[in-house]
């Protein structure tokens, strides 16, 4: 589904350049549930932005769903984002003057789906996430967990192949975080590839595969079976702190 080959990315601020990604090689198959971890500055957000076609890379190759993504025009990028990818953000990023249903329906609006149809579909998705009674509520009338669920519904409505989540639980308390993760797990069971960026070990431990970034390289790749040992290491890390 996703193939990265020797991806490099630098940021330039004035005369300084910051080499963030230093040759990432990565393969994520369809239906995987992956988390990206790393200390701040390790390049995890940058990687997610590249995956989401929100940013360009300098060197290497990125194949998404079999297609090379490189130097895309904004228009094509928008189309790809809309059709292949779903985004979930830490701060939810709902449009404040649209109610829950309209927020969920927004990606379909950009696809040109008629208002009636897209609102009906939005209601369906809200129903799936248990938010139907709140469909007419504005974002500021919803709790954090509800907002994130609306955002998830919005990510799902365009039936994407990949869902990218940037710290989806970053702004939520533990219990709500677990609820959200349960929802994501459910989505994963339907066969959608999910990639989340997180710095919380317990959240990462719920995924099938953890990619640990270190100084712009992949430091560690912990796969399903090894999660038990990851948890052990994680506990050790906590002790040393």
Partner 1 sequence: MFDIDRWKEIISALKKNRLRSFLTAFGVFWGIFMLIIMAGAGRGFENGMFEGIGQVAQNSFFMWTNPTSEPYKGLRRGRRWSFDNEDVAFIKNHIPEADIVSPRIFAGGGGGNNTIRDDRAASFYIKGDYPEWNDIDPAEVLMGRWLNEVDIMQRRKVCVVGDQVINELFDPEEDPIGEYLKVNGVYYQVVGVVDPISNINMNGRSEESIFIPFSTMQVAYNYGNDVHVLGVTAKPGYSAAMVEEKVIAALKQRHKIAPTDVQAVAHINLEKQFKQFSALFDGIRILTWIVGLGTLLAGVIGVSNIMLVIVRERTQEIGVMRAIGATPRKVIGQIMLESVFLTAVAGYIGLVLGILILEGLNYVLEMAKANGSTEIFISNPSIDLTVAIACLAVLVVSGAIAGYIPAKRAVRIKPIDALRAE
**Contacting positions for partner 1 (CB under 8 A):** 49, 52, 54-55, 74-75, 78-79, 81-83, 87, 89, 91, 93-98, 102, 106-107, 109-111, 115, 154-155, 158
CB of 225 to partner 1, least distance (A): 34
Residues 6+ apart with CB under 8 A from 74: none
Nearer to partner 1, 82 or 176 (CB): 82
Nearer to partner 1, 163 or 227 (CB): 163
CB of 78 to partner 1, least distance (A): 4
CB of 131 to partner 1, least distance (A): 18
Nearer to partner 1, 33 or 87 (CB): 87
CB of 95 to partner 1, least distance (A): 6
Interatomic CA distance for residues 42 and 166, integer angstroms = 14
Nearer to partner 1, 16 or 75 (CB): 75
Interatomic CA distance for residues 196 and 204, integer angstroms = 8
Nearer to partner 1, 111 or 224 (CB): 111
CB of 93 to partner 1, least distance (A): 4
Residue 205 has phi, psi (to 5 degrees) of -65, -15
Place of tokens 């990265």: 4
User: Which helix (H) or strand (E) is 189 found in, with range?
Assistant: helix 174-189
Helix %, strand %, coil % of the chain (to 5)? 40, 25, 30
Tokens of 154: 């919005």
């Amino acid at each position: 589904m996703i193939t990265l080959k020797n991806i490099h990315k630098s940021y330039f601020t004035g005369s300084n350049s910051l080499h963030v990604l230093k040759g990432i090689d990565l393969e994520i198959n369809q239906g995987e549930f992956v988390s990206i971890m790393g200390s701040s500055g390790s390049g995890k957000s940058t990687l997610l932005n590249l995956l989401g076609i929100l940013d360009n890379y300098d060197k290497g190759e990125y194949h998404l769903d079999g297609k090379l993504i490189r130097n895309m025009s904004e228009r094509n990028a928008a189309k790809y984002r809309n059709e292949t990818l779903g985004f979930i953000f830490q701060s939810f990023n709902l449009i404040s003057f649209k109610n829950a249903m309209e927020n969920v329906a927004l990606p379909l609006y950009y696809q040109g789906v008629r208002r009636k149809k897209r609102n009906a579909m939005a209601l369906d998705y809200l129903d799936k996430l248990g938010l139907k009674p709140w469909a007419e509520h504005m974002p500021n009338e919803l709790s954090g967990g509800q907002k994130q669920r609306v955002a998830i519904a919005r990510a799902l409505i365009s039936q994407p192949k990949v869902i990218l989540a940037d710290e989806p639980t970053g702004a939520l308390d533990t219990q709500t975080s677990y609820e959200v993760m349960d929802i994501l797990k459910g989505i994963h069971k339907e066969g959608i590839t999910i990639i989340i960026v997180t710095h919380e070990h317990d959240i990462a431990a719920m995924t099938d595969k953890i990619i640990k970034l270190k100084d712009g390289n992949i430091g560690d790749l912990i796969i399903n079976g090894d999660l038990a040992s990851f948890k052990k290491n994680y506990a050790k890390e906590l002790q040393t702190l």
